[in-house]
Amino acid sequence: MRAYLKRLPDFDDLEAEERALDHAQGYKSVLQALSFLVSWPALDRASGLVIRRAAELDGDHFEILTPAADALAGKHPLAATLVLRSMIDFALAQSRSSRYRHAARHLMECASLASSIRDFERFETHEAYAIRLRGEHGRKSSFWSLIA
């Protein structure tokens, strides 16, 4: 896309880029859209995508979600938190014990990011999320033993 945009006349390239980013935000696959927006980078748009479509994030795709969370953490802590939560939820819901170490690290990252989030909007605060996790997955002692 960058090569295509370079060939366009001035100002046409800006309009074409905006159309492409708009298209990416509405793309059917939220993971492909997120991957594109993070790599472009269009982190404001990636954050908006995550917040609007958080329920669609498939936490099984850590190869896309981990770099996305890392990229979003600095200026978009709520979006980063939602991405991390999707991976935590997947690991625990699917009892993927091989991922518990990563999920525990993600939960601690969420705790750290929580202090930077002024408004959790329609999402649970970190405290409420952690309490719900403990209630739903309290018997997964191999996970909880990893939480400092």
pLDDT greater at residue 133 or residue 19: 133
Residues 6+ apart with CB under 8 A from 86: 54, 57, 58, 59, 65
State the Cα–Cα distance between residues 72 and 76, nearest whole angstrom: 5
pLDDT tens string 35-65: 999 998 999 999 999 999 999 999 999 999 9
What integer pLDDT is reported at residue 8 of this predicted model? 60
DSSP track, 25-69? HT-S-HHHHHHHHHHTT-HHHHHHHHHHSGGG--TT-HHHHHHHH
Q: Is 139 helix (H, G, I), strand (E, B) or coil?
A: coil
State the Cα–Cα distance between residues 8 and 64, nearest whole angstrom: 30
Residue ranges per domain, the chain? 43-144
Of the pLDDT bands very low, low, confident and very high (cuts 50, 70, 90), residue 25 is confident
Of the pLDDT bands very low, low, confident and very high (cuts 50, 70, 90), residue 1 is low
pLDDT tens string 77-122: 999 999 999 999 999 999 999 999 999 999 999 999 999 999 999 9
Residue 7 has pLDDT above 70, yes or no: no
Is residue 90 within 8 A of residue 63, CB to CB? The reply is: no
